[in-house]
Structure 1
């Protein structure tokens, strides 16, 4: 452990992008003047309209967070309590936890190592009489193999949902993510490049799903305030919507910053044996909000965890996204017969190699050069 870290101020993965503070305060003051702080106010409506414009989908339902979005989507699509949902093990634990908390059973599939997203063959092998749906995850903003997963879902008559927490602004086959499957769920958590402090959105082209989710997020109330279903409080506040709108105002600028940072990382790490900067899908727009390395210990001579520990010692808070795989985490690791086939070789290989590094507006060329120097020094021994 060094006595003097390279960086006096910590560098974090997912440091919030704030945007135009004055414009944010103007929007918040407008909400205060209207005395309309929640319950589907005009800022929430504006955010929903902006998201539908950006995604090209018919409906956006703003929510308190993406976890709630997954739960409401599953319920709106008719997935019943106790049924299984096939989900990749290589994802943030929030994906299966949302299902488990809703009384569904996550069953873990393996991933394609190139995309780090659900392998359609692995998904199909897990479908059985108790399967109620499929939840794909667009990992690091790179889209799933949407067409193949849709064919699997269609063959078995299952709803197909997408956890698109990482993927706002990304495309699949040159079409914006948001309109695929039965519904897609975005996260606008503070760590995302577009954030609303806390928040999320469900986006769909299905009129019925949208109507059900709108009611369920508001305690089961219809627009006429009739109670039409069971519900919960999944509403987004006006303050969160104000932040989300300010974020979207600079969306293209943030993507440009992320792309610039990625170029600097690629240049700074070029030629290192066993070290690869993971790429986005070719010919697609990507948000580049995650900068992820793969470190192959056999080729580099150094394990990913050694690099991770060195960076931490120098105030660079990298993240092992995602380690361990969800099937090796609580509570699922103690119920493998219920939740997962074991092993899941591609998930387990990736989870020992990937390392997310700081990017976004909080880092610049000097910080990235310092991080790359630390990695080079660590690999040199």
Structure 2
């Protein structure tokens, strides 16, 4: 490695994609002219467009996806003290959103191939306090939806999906967004479609959507009556303006990500113990995350060492998701929240995966240089054959 970093400016995972600044400015000026700054016409337009993308009739925009998960759980009748089965291999926000409102996350192991919740392990975790199942489409690869819906239906449980990574993706040719009781998108700044900060609940169920709208606004009904408790989860017009602007270029962003994915695959092809995680065959994928796996036993080097070497070269890779949720506080040492037990597949993934920079700000030459850094790390340590 050279003494000075390969990259003068850092390459980030999740660096924001910006659509047309002119269109964004036009929308923001319209909101200012109307003096309607929150939960207004831009939010309604954003919801309509998102419903089209998701292939559903109902969308409820919210201020962020964490609040969206909480609103969706409440709308599904899940309350404090209830248990919800969640994957251990996910960003901690999935579990934290539930835990924050008193719902107990019960962690399920992962399928090492997909990274998603292992549906074959779910049923054994259903107990007398179980009131729901929450899947996560990890890195945009859809869960085994049919199997989860069958289990949830047989036990009379609501099935929710944290779809933060999966807007624009498909499962068996259908858009992610229309499965289970409801799904929740994220439009955080690091997502390839962003609204600065925001989220949305999408569903086919009109009654469920109406409950979400009430809960989003302090329990106030469309008639202006307060029918239940609620919170302030409304999206503002500036966020919706950015979301609409981002949606306009979603297809081109997905194409840029797809091209980057292929470039990384080519650049790392044949490297012992290193591979680029793929998406479901035959499905549309947004390739929002470029994730590699490093098998230390084959590569001769641990993922963390490669991560450190990349950081030294100004490549700000991310160890998604390390440690797994069940290995961090407050779940690690609080049996009331989670009885500790090994979840070997989630733990193995957490030791192997590494997210690399992608998106419109990363070009072919940068990808080639990132691959070269990884190749040099591995080549220096791969056991002789």
Normalised by the shorter chain, which TM-score bucket? over 0.9
Question: What's the counterpart of residue 6 of structure 1?
Answer: 6
SS of the aligned residue for 2:332 comes to helix
Shift of 1:208: 1.4
Is 1:16 paired with 2:16?
A: yes
SS of the aligned residue for 2:229 comes to coil
SS of the aligned residue for 1:87 comes to strand
Asked if structure 1 preserves the Cα contact closer than 8 Å seen for 2:332 and 2:340, the reply is no
Give unmatched runs, 5+ long, in structure 2.
381-385
Question: What's the counterpart of residue 307 of structure 2?
Answer: 308
SS of the aligned residue for 1:186 comes to strand
Question: What's the counterpart of residue 88 of structure 1?
Answer: 87
Question: What's the counterpart of residue 348 of structure 2?
Answer: 349
Question: What's the counterpart of residue 211 of structure 1?
Answer: 210
Is 1:26 paired with 2:26?
A: yes
For the residues of structure 1 that align with 2:209 and 2:176, how far apart are their CA atoms? 17
SS of the aligned residue for 1:214 comes to helix
Give unmatched runs, 5+ long, in structure 1.
none
Question: What's the counterpart of residue 152 of structure 1?
Answer: 151
Question: What's the counterpart of residue 172 of structure 1?
Answer: 171
SS of the aligned residue for 1:52 comes to helix
Asked if structure 2 preserves the Cα contact closer than 8 Å seen for 1:60 and 1:203, the reply is yes
SS of the aligned residue for 2:366 comes to helix
For the residues of structure 1 that align with 2:52 and 2:149, how far apart are their CA atoms? 24
For the residues of structure 2 that align with 1:273 and 1:337, how far apart are their CA atoms? 43
Asked if structure 2 preserves the Cα contact closer than 8 Å seen for 1:11 and 1:316, the reply is yes
For the residues of structure 1 that align with 2:137 and 2:309, how far apart are their CA atoms? 29
Shift of 1:102: 1.0
Q: 1:48-67 to 2 correspondence within 5 Å? A: 48-67=47-66
1:59-89 CA-to-partner distances (Å, cap 9, x unmatched) read: 0000000000110111101112101000000
With normalisation by structure 1, the TM-score equals 0.98
Using a 3 Å threshold, how does the CA distance of structure 1 residues 345 and 337 change in structure 2: closer, same or farther?
A: farther
1:180-217 CA-to-partner distances (Å, cap 9, x unmatched) read: 10000000000000000000000011111100110111
Q: What RMSD in Å do the two structures reach over aligned CA positions?
A: 1.0
Q: 1:238-249 to 2 correspondence within 5 Å? A: 238-249=237-248
Question: What's the counterpart of residue 185 of structure 1?
Answer: 184
Question: What's the counterpart of residue 36 of structure 1?
Answer: 36
1:251-274 CA-to-partner distances (Å, cap 9, x unmatched) read: 100000000001111111111000
With normalisation by structure 2, the TM-score equals 0.97
Question: What's the counterpart of residue 222 of structure 1?
Answer: 221
Question: What's the counterpart of residue 122 of structure 1?
Answer: 121
Shift of 1:3: 3.4
| Displaced runs of 4 or more, over 6 A | none
Shift of 1:341: 5.2
